[in-house]
Each structure stands twice: as structure tokens, then as C-alpha cells.
Amino acid sequence: MRDFSIGPAQIVALFMTCIFYGMLLVTTSLCLNILLLKKDRNTLSHHIALAATLCMLAIASNDAALGLAHVLDAFAYYTGPGGAEAELSHVSSWINVVKLVNYLLQTTIGDFLLVYRCYVIHDRRRAVIVLPIFLWLAFLITYSTAIYVTANRHALGSISSDQTPFITAASVATLVQNLATTGMIVYKLWSHERRNREFLAGSLTRRRLTRVIGIIIESALFYTIFTFLTLVTFLADNNADYALSDCVVQIIGISFNMIIIRGHGTLSARWEDHEPSQISQRTNQFRMTDMTLGFGENDHRRKVSEISECPQPSIYSEVASTP
């Protein structure tokens, strides 16, 4: 079998990036359609979601354009010694450094939004996000250090031993942070459903909550699997990590968009329009509120329903819209 050298690896990376970039464009257009048509467009969470969507698209577009420019420089315009392989092997070239910065920015935004979603769903309890914030900062510091070392290396070849510890630590930090934060979100939703099972049994509400949990888990797995494969190929010193790391930049944006798109389809209707008869049969003390995606800065105080002696956190209206 032929070695998977850096030249073919960069071509495969460009091909895979184009595929996922196309998916990102489609999901971004759908996501913007939802965000721009929302009635409550003046809330903090809406502004955060809209800004994050546009920033992720800009970063992913820049990364895809740089990938194309790098391949063109190497295979079409470079005429120096060593050919395309030599040009692509300049790890400290400005294109490689900027692509590392793109990965840093995209992952930092994606992880921060995940922490913010966990913070909101846990009724804005700061103690809950201490570990996720610590891991988020650990990734930011270690990967920034790796970028600095790379930019000042000025040598040919693959990632050096000086960079390996920082990139490895950063990858482990973001993996653990995503798994831990997603686990806390899912646990909060599951415990809410379990605590109120008597009132939610057989209702559309319970089925919606189950779908929300599935959406969050699937989005987290999509990103986590690619990040894990990137780490494995990097530690194995396999050039496939170029393709996988480029894909992660696109996948972070896709995962974020899909939560909003799929969550909108699950949670956008009003409770009154779906199951008033079921609710009235269970208790006369339900007062249903708006079941839209949006919520403002103080909307975490709002109840989805008010049941005497059975307080419920305002989870349903917050899950999908929280960036």
C-alpha cells in the first residue's frame, strides 16, 4: 500500500471540506430563516445564536478558501525544489497557521455555546459550569500555545515533538468538556422528565422531550466522533488528521445549526394547539404558556406549566433556542 503522503492528504482534505461546507451552507440558510423570522428577535439568546451562526459560517468559509489556496499554490504555482510535497510541508507557513487559528476559533465558539446551553438549562447555576469552563479555558490556552510554537518553528515536516503535547492536551480537553457538558444537559432533561412522569405520561410533551434529548446526543456524537478520530490519527502520525481536522471546522457549525433547526420543528408549536384535552384530564391546575423557541434574558423564570406542589424548571422552551 502506498504511503498516505501530505500531498494526497491535502487533496482529500479539500474534497471532504467541500462536502461538509456544502452541508454547512444549507443548514446555515435554514437556521437563518428560523432566527430572522422569530417574533422575539430582541432577546439576548437570539442575538447570541444569530451572531454565532454568522461567525461560524465566516470562519468555515475562510478555512475552505485557504484549503483551496494551499492546494493551488502547491500543485499549480510552486516551482521550487521538492515540488508540491515541499510546499505543503511548510508547517509554519501563514496558511497553516491561519487554519490552526480557524480551528481554535470555531472550537472555542462551539464549546462556549455548549457551556452556555448547559448554564441556561440548569437554571443559570454557576456551580454547574465550573468544570466545563475550566476545560474550555484549558483548550484555549493549550491550543493557543500550539499555534505559537507552530508559527515560530520555521521548518519542514510534520508536527514536531514540541507541538504534540499542547495539541494532545487541547484535544483531550475539548473531548472531555463536550462529553461532560452534554451529559449534564441530558441528565437535567431526563431527571425533569422522570420527576414529572406522572403528569407527562402518554402526552405529546413527553415525546417532545425525548426527541430533544435525542437531538442533543446526536449532535454531540457527530462532533465528538470526528474530534476523537482527529486525535487518534494525529497521535498515530497519520496525515489523515489534515482531512479530519478540516472537517471538524465545518462540523461544529453544522452541529450547532442542526440543534436549532431540529429543535424548532420539535418545540415551535404552542401547547394549547396540541393537547389541551390531555392536560385538562390530568389536572385542572395547568396554565400553559407559550411554547416557542425564543426566550429573553429573564425568561428562565418562566414556567412551561404551573402545577401546585410540583415546581418545574423552564426547560422545554430553552433547550433548542439556547445557542
Q: What is the pLDDT of residues 128-142, one digit of tens each?
A: 999 999 999 999 999
pLDDT the model gives residue 312: 40
pLDDT the model gives residue 282: 38
Q: What is the pLDDT of residues 15-28, one digit of tens each?
A: 999 999 999 999 99
Give bridge partners of residue 109 from the DSSP assignment: none
- Stretch 201-222: mean pLDDT: 74
- Stretch 118-127: mean pLDDT: 89
CA nearest to 300, candidates 117, 128, 154, 137: 117
Q: What is the pLDDT of residues 58-87, one digit of tens each?
A: 999 999 999 999 999 999 888 888 888 888
Question: d(Cα 263, Cα 298) in Å, to the nearest integer?
Answer: 21
What angle in degrees, to the nearest 10, is found between the helix axes of 94-121 and 130-151?
180
Has residue 186 got a pLDDT over 70?
Answer: yes
CA nearest to 95, candidates 114, 116, 71: 71
- For 16, 127, 183, the CA distances from 267, given in Å and listed in that order, are 33, 28, 21
Ordered by where they begin, the domains of the chain are 6-319 (1.20.1070)
pLDDT the model gives residue 298: 41
Q: What is the pLDDT of residues 247-292, one digit of tens each?
A: 999 999 999 999 888 877 554 443 333 333 333 333 333 222 222 2
- Which of 70-74, 109-113, 226-230, 279-283 shows the lowest per-residue confidence on average (mean pLDDT)? 279-283
pLDDT the model gives residue 280: 34
pLDDT the model gives residue 93: 85
- Which of 66-70, 162-166, 229-233 shows the lowest per-residue confidence on average (mean pLDDT)? 162-166
- Stretch 148-153: mean pLDDT: 84
Question: d(Cα 34, Cα 27) in Å, to the nearest integer?
Answer: 11
Question: d(Cα 158, Cα 169) in Å, to the nearest integer?
Answer: 18
